[in-house]
Amino acid sequence: MYYSIIPYEELFPTTEDDFKYEEVTYEGNTVQVYKKDDKYIVKRVISTDLKVYLNKELSPGSELKM
């Protein structure tokens, strides 16, 4: 059984396009993103600085303006 608030498609991707993530530097921080339409969506933050994780612009699911 699968019980979660996270959509099934996000946890268990079914197409190869779901695995195409890029690591980009945004405002001096490294983030893993994927492209959806003409936007970049944050998948995760890659940093050793804990303050970066408190930045609301870099929270998973947020859109980046690049």
Per-residue pLDDT averaged across 11-21, rounded? 69
Per-residue confidence at 11, pLDDT binned at 50, 70, 90?
A: confident
How far apart CA 36 and CA 62 sit, in angstroms, is: 12
Per-residue pLDDT averaged across 48-63, rounded? 93
Q: Kindly tell me if the per-residue pLDDT of 15 is higher than 70.
A: no
Structure confidence at residue 23 (pLDDT): 93
Rounded to two decimals, what is the model's pTM? 0.67
Identify whether the C-beta of residue 14 lies closer than 8 Å to the C-beta of residue 28. Answer: no
Considering only the C-alpha atoms of the chain, give the largest distance between any 2 of them, rounded to a whole number of Å: 41
Each domain of the chain, given as residue ranges in start order, spans: 19-64
